Every structure is written in C-alpha cells, then in structure tokens.
Structure 1
Amino acid sequence: MAHPSLLKSIGEEVMGKNGQVQLSQVCGPDRILGLYFAAHWCAPCRVFTPQLVALYTHVRENTKHQLEIILVSSDTDEAAFRDHYADMPWLALPFSETKRKVRLSRQYKVTSIPMLVLVESRSGRVITRAGREMVTSDPEALHFPWRPRSVGDILASARLVDPEGQEVASEDIKDCYKGLYFSAHWCPPCKAFTPQLVAAYDKMKKKEENFSMIFISSDRSEESWRTYHSSMPWPSLAWEEEEGRGELAATLEVKGIPTLVILAPDNSVITTDGRAEFSEDPDLVRFPWPSQSVEVLAARHMSRLQDTPCLILFTDGEAAEVQFGRDVLLPVAEEYLLEHPQEGGLTLQFFVAGEDEVGDSVRDYACLEDVVPLVAILDPAQGAKYLLEEGVEVSTATVHNFVTRYTNDKLTPLPIRPLTPAATNTS
C-alpha cells in the first residue's frame, strides 16, 4: 500500500510499458520508490540514465531490495518524452500530468536535473535526495538504499575539540540543546555574524542552561580553521572530520553560510534558520526559537512563501488585531498540522500579516485588495490564490471550512496575478 501523501502527489496510477499501473501495486513494506527527475533535452540526464538503468537492473536481480523508479519528466514535448522514456525499464508519470510534476518538484526541492530521490513507499519518508551522487559513487549498490546517518549518530562518532585543541567528550553535550554553526573564516557575512553570536552565547546559555554550540567549519585550510575557531568559546568538529562535516551539511540541507541550526536534546531540528531568528530576536525572548503553528509574517518567511502554499490572514497591524488573527487561526492550524505533518508532502503554513512593508509587498505581488481582515491562500509556484469569500465573517469556523475545502480540492483557484491584456490577446 502506498502512503496517502504519495497517492496524493503522484496519483493512484502511473504509466508502465504495457499500460497503466496502480501505484499501490509497486509500494509496500521494505519497498523503495525512486523518483527520477530528468528530461530528454538535458545532456547530463542522457549521460546518467544508462548508469541508473544498470543500477536498477543490478538491484532488482542481485539484492534483497525491492526498488521501483518513476520518471518525472521535465520535457515540454510529448515526442521527446516518449523517446527518452523508451530507454528506461521503469514507470513514468504520464506526460499530461503537468500539475503533479510541478508539485513533486516542489515537494522534493528539485533545483536541477538529473535528480534521484529515494522514498520509503510505505511511510512516504525521504531516504535521500542525493540518489544521483550515490549511484555514481556506489554503482554496485553495496550500501543501497543509502540511508544517511542521523545527526545524533554523526555527532556521537565525531571528534570534538575546544579552541585550545583539547578533546571534548561528545557525551558531555549528548543531551543538550545544540547550535550547529556552519561558518568559515573566508566568508565576509560569517565574519560579521560570528562576533554577534559570541557576544550572545553566554545569554543563550543562561536562557537555556542545557545549551552548547558546535562550530562546523567550511574553511579551506587547517590553519584558517584554527585561527577562526580561536575566536569562538565553543567546541568544533576537529579538522580531520571532513566526512562528518559534509554529512551534517547534507543531512540538514545547508545551502550556504553562515547557517545556524538549533537542535533539541533528542537532535530533532528546532530551526535551520537560527541566523534570521537571532536577527529578529536579538534579546533571545523566544530562544531556542521553537516553531509556531501560526507566525507573524516577516521578511525571513519570504522564501517559504515561494516553496509551499501559505494561508495569510491580513490585519491592520494593530496589536489587538494581530492577536485576534492568531486566536482565529491557531485551532485551525494545530488541527491541520496534526493531520498533515511536514514529512511526505507540501504542508500549508499559517501566518498573520499586518500593514507593514512585508505585508504590503505580498499584497502587491498577489494583487490583493487593501481590505482587512482578508484571508487568502497563496501558492506562487502554482500561480494560484484562493480567497475567503467576500462578506463571510472571519472566524475560526469559517477559516476551518475554507481550509477543509482547500485540502479537498473544492476551491476554484484564481491566477495569483491577473493576465495582462497583451497576454490574453490571441489575434
């Protein structure tokens, strides 16, 4: 049986060599699903596809693992799609499923192709998004399905040292809240941010006594690492722990530096956006910055609006109105997030916005009327918006109904930006 999130994002049927195939037929306990994002026009894809075919055949014939792959094509021409798919022995998302292809690309954060994402078909959990790199480095599938080590396991096995080079026992910080600080001496933004973090470190430890920071270096030489580490009061992964540093960056999907990741004592991620959290909360009122079901829309959320659909309740920005918005949304958000966890799908995010630069820019972008209160679901990647009907009182009950209809695909999307007359002129 396929996980419900996979059925929703992929569909109940996929395309096989001899007709349609029920997705649930290729899913089940211990079955691995590979989503292969590729296109005929992509030269690296044409190079990688034969490697993947070889691995696919080897895994299915010579190992205990049950692997199925589904092509998610980026081709814009059906003839090219079929020509490309002809060289593949696996399944494919039908060429016509444009919306599903966009959804899958967003869901699995596909920024370039070829890309191979491995998923547990029964749970919907991502095993790795680095399948292409794994196929290249392990063509015999000796370590398939390439499950990454957990953050806790990586830290437990790594050697930690203090700024003087003395070893620090990982057991000493095993059960602490942890800040993983990805940074480098050569990086100008890092050199600007590090003194701020050092100045706040004692206050962080007073705010959360069971807290420790760990420096994860991206320096280019051991000398630079030592010099830079000497400016910090916390431990670092030792210079020789290159593999551990790379694993942590990959597992936590660190895309750039400086990055501050905050972990709970069980090593679950509280936030990967600690730098922005600190910038907005320099007095550490909310430290260690746990996630909230409903957040007040701020500049740091802009990338999230591009990545995942968001419900925004626009207010006039007065403290009482912002609180009203939070009170209205909180029961809806908590119920929704309980039923639609982050793992395995695109999850609706909930925000209250005021009449400030951020709120105004979102209104302008989505061509929303300057009225309050206004409730909208925005999905820029799909070019769609959904509006709570004019004249409907904004309450927990009406917002709950609005979200339920959205979840069940009962709302009619509007273009996020109206088409210009030039765009609609077909003469």
Structure 2
Amino acid sequence: MSEKAKWYDRVFGKKLIKCDSTNNSNDFQSVGTTEILQSVQITGIYFSFANINTQSDDFLKKLHDLYDKLNGSCSNGEMDRKLEVVQVVMWAHNDNYGDFEVSHRDSLMGLPWFAMPFSETSLKTRLSRRYRIKSGVPTLVLLDKDGATISVSAQEKLLEDPNGINFPWRPRPVDEVLKDVVLQPGGTYFQEHPKGIQKDLQYRDLSEGVRGFYFSANWCPPCRAFTPQLAEVYKLIRKKEPNFEVIFVSSDRSGESYSAYLESMPWLTIPFQQASVRAELAQLYGIRGIPTLLLLDSNGHVITMDARTELIEDPLAQNFPWKPRAVNILTDRFLTKLHDYPAIVLFVDTEETELQFAESVLIPAANNYYKINNINFASIFEDRLFSMCNQDDYFLQFLVGTDSESTDILRDLIGLDDVVPLLVALDIPNRRFATMEYGIEITTESVNDFVRKFQDNDLEFKAIHDVGVENAENL
C-alpha cells in the first residue's frame, strides 16, 4: 500500500463493521478498513442520528438507491466501487435511549454498506468536530480516493439530484458560482467607495486583493452585534489595503429583513433573490452557523475560515489578513483544537518580554518540525474542510499559554504545576502529557530535543486522569 492509503485507518480506525446482517445473531462482520476502501473511487461518510430516524427515512432511501445504482455495474466485487458509504451513528439527545448499543445496532440492520463500530466513540467525536456536524442533522460528506474532501454537505445535492446524474457533485469555484451575479451595494457602500462602479458590478470586476465573505442575518443577535465591529475594522483595513472587499451572503428570511440589515453595510452583497447562489456558497465553504467571516486570497484560496474570531482578538487588524501562524496564543479556539491534535505548550507570564521569549524559542522549533515532517500547517488549520492528507497523522501544534482563563482551565484539568516557564507536551487524543524536566534551560535547541523525544515516544508521559479528560472533552 502507498503512504496515501494511511488516511483510511486514521479517519475510521482499522476495522469497520458490515451492516448487511439479516440474521438474528446481532453480530456484524468486522472487516479491515483498508481492505474495503483502498480501491473505492468515492467514500461517503454518512452521519446519522439513531433517535431521529423518522426525519432521515427519505434521505436514507435516496442514499440506498444511489448506492445500488452506482455500484450495480461493478464487475469486480468490492474492488473499484464508485461509492462506498461508512455510516457514523450518533445521538441527537443522549437521554432518549436506555441501551445505546442496541439502538446503534438497530439503526444499521439491513443496510448495504459499512459503519464505524459502536466502541469508536473518540474517532466519531473527532470526525463530527472536523466536519462541524450539527446535532440531529443527517449529513453526507464525500471524499475522493486520496481522502480529499469533495463536499461537506452532499445530502442537499442528493435530494436535488437523487439519480446522481452529476455525482459526486464537485463544487464549482467561487468565481464560477458568481459569474453571472450582479452584486448589490450596501447602504453606505458609496461613502466608502466614492469612485466605485455605479451599476452591474460583478465579482470579476473587483480589484485583485483579499476578499471576505460574510455569512450573516438580521434575525441573528450575534450577527447584529458583530456587524458594526466588522464595519469599523473593514474601514480601517481599507486605509491600508484599498482593494480589500467584503461580500455579504444573507441568511435572512424575508426581503424586508435583508434590506433593513443592508442599510448600514459599507460593502457588497449577493442579491436576496439569488437564493440558489447564496445556498451554493454556503455549501462550498461548509458554513454550519452564523455569523461566519471567511477570507480568500487573490487566487481564491481560503486564508482563514475564522476571521470573525481573528478580528475580535485583533481589532486594529495589525495581523490582517490573519494567515495561519506556526505558533499561536492559547485562546478558547485553540483550546478546542487540542482534542484533535497534540501540542507543545509553553506556559509563560503575560509580560511582553515573556511573550517575546516564548516566540523566540517556539517559532524556530515549530518551523524546523514542519520542515522535517513536510507539513503545511496552514492546510491543517484552515483547509481541513476541503482536504485531508496523510500529514494530518503527524501534526503537532505549538502554543503559548499566558495568564488567561483558558490557560487556567487547562492547567486545572490536566493537573499541571502552577509554575512558569513550563514546557508541556499535551496529547489529549491519547490522554497523556509530559513536561520538560525541571532545571533544563528552555532554548530553541532544548525545545527541538523535546519535540524529537515526543515524536520518538521517548518522554516520561503521565496519564490525564479520567475526570480531566471528561471535562476536557467539553471545552
């Protein structure tokens, strides 16, 4: 097998269960993941919810029909199948079943594909976070033969195209989606753009520069609170980057609400009547909630999916356009990423000199680590919705923990000594951590050595106690 094949085991675990049990033994056959997926053209991850089957029956039937249609002409058994489905059974409300394992089994009986075993709870949780799955919303994610993500919301395409005429529904690039759309100016657009095009402005007419897509709605209180902040920072950025532009993608429920919201906006918008375009953009970027602000570079590549948080943390836009960094401050959003990837965390005081010290020893070590392992850390943090590559298996974060609530929570949960500086290898996915020995000076060289020992499994790891793990999973 090639190196690329490793993504199967990493994503789903080494064993899947075959769902076509028609007897009453209640025992599903266990099959090697790579054996099933190594020659499949498209892999579908079907996130289902055991206690909302009545809501997903129609979708399940359509998926079953498409599965049979696409694979009916396969002449080589399991090999070279056009579509294989791996079902991930979850629960929308954990108190609806007394016996979760029975409900898990019942929801899979008689289906023609495969599923993740009931026991793979950690991998299921990681997958649901990776694809931002909403509780109670059946979701179909499509991956190509190399594990790259084709779609994070293919269930909508299946309902539109149940015969799979355009399967696997590869998304159009943003310039194609907006090719025939005439953009509408916001209420204060021409105050900010006195020389702007007065009519029939299209996406291709925009000057080359960073583009922001703002998914928001007037009915959403967090959106209404964030919009004035974005407007102020937008004007600030345009003083330095006059080609920066934002395009509003509305989730409003009426034209009146949309028009009222638009009055205070100094940027452009997709017209409200272009509902299919707005829906396609949301599907293209896997938008699961609002407000969301994402940034694209001049080539249409995602810079960040979380520009809203970046803006809130950097209201003067000093780090715009907020490209992914090798070393980050441990804030709430990076706290949640600790569930997915291990991290090297250097805890220091909040003084500017301490922050400078932390970055001076961590940045060279981080860059060295990424170079040696041929890792593009930007693709892990920002493009994981659109690609999954085998580098994911070895990814390590580098974080600076300052005197903050996030840091205090983490220290308490893991049981770390309240001393600084303190260098820690934190591996929540494997429920373990290790600290650099006291007395060793923290330098780039010693951090490099610490990272190497982590990779070689040569550190003195301690177990994260069960209470800490349970609480950490709720961070």
TM over 0.5: yes
CA distance in 2, matches of 1:22, 1:226: 51
Once the two structures are superposed, residues 142-198 of structure 1 have per-residue CA deviations (whole angstroms, 9 ceiling, x without a partner) of: 221122222332233432122478321322226321122223333343333333333
Q: 1:94 to 1:277 in 2, by over 3 A?
A: closer
Give the letter aligned to residue 86 of structure 2.
Answer: I
Q: Does 2:156 correspond to 1:133?
A: yes
Q: CA deviation at 1:217?
A: 1.9
> Which residue in 2 is equivalent to 1:414?
463
CA contact (8 A) 2:179 2:202 kept: no
In the alignment, does 2:140 pair up with 1:116?
A: yes
Residue identity in the other structure for 1:339: I
Amino acid at match of 1:66: K
User: What SS class does the counterpart of residue 312 from structure 2 fall into?
Assistant: helix
Distance 1:360 1:371 in 2: 12
Match of 1:26 among 19, 25, 37: 37
* SS of match in other structure, 1:199: helix
Q: Is 2:62 aligned against 1:51?
A: yes
> Is the 1:159–1:241 Cα contact (8 Å) retained in structure 2?
no
Equivalent residue number for residue 151 of structure 1: 174
Does the 8 Å contact 2:48/2:139 carry over to 1? yes
The CA deviation at 1:57 is 0.5
The answer on whether the counterparts of 2:213 and 2:248 sit within 8 Å (CA) in structure 1 is yes
For 1:289 and 1:195, the matched residues in 2 are separated by 20
> Is there any run of 5+ residues in structure 2 with no aligned partner, and where?
21-28, 75-79, 92-98, 188-197, 381-386, 470-475
Mapping for residues 137-286 of structure 1, pairs under 5 Å: 137-163=160-186, 166-173=199-206, 175-286=208-319
The CA distance in 2 between the partners of 1:25 and 1:299, in whole Å, is 38
Q: Call closer, same or farther: CA 1:228–1:14 in 2, change over 3 Å.
A: closer
Contact 1:264–1:270 at 8 Å: present in 2 too? yes
How many angstroms apart in 2 are the aligned matches of 1:10 and 1:86?
20
Change (3 A) 1:299 1:24: same
Identity, % of aligned pairs?
A: 36
- Corresponding position of 1:384: 431
Q: Which residue of 1 aligns with 2:405?
A: 357
Deviation at 1:213, TM superposition (A): 1.7
Aligned to 1:326: 359
The reply on whether 1:66 has 2:115 as its aligned counterpart is no
Q: Which stretches in structure 1 are left out of the alignment for 5+ residues?
A: 421-427
Q: Report the 3-state secondary structure (helix = DSSP H, G, I; strand = E; otherwise coil) of the residue aligned with 1:189.
A: helix
The 3 A distance-change label for structure 1 pair 198 and 104 is closer
Return closer, same or farther for 1:210/1:95 CA change in 2, 3 Å cut-off.
Answer: same
Distance 2:120 2:248 in 1: 45
Q: What pairs with 1:297-376 in structure 2 (closer than 5 Å)?
A: 297-305=330-338, 308-334=341-367, 335-336=369-370, 338-339=374-375, 341-342=379-380, 343-344=387-388, 345=392, 347-376=395-424
Change (3 A) 1:189 1:419: closer
Residues 11-60 of structure 1: CA deviation (Å, up to 9, x unaligned): 455444766345156334x7101123346555248725443222210111
Q: Helix, strand or coil: the match of 1:339? A: coil
Letter matched to residue 60 of structure 1? N
Counterpart CA distance in 2 for 1:38 and 1:237 is 33
Secondary structure at 1:245 match in 2? helix
Cα distance change of structure 1 residues 383 and 157 upon mapping to structure 2, 3 Å threshold: farther
CA RMSD between the two structures? 3.4
Shift of 1:278: 2.1
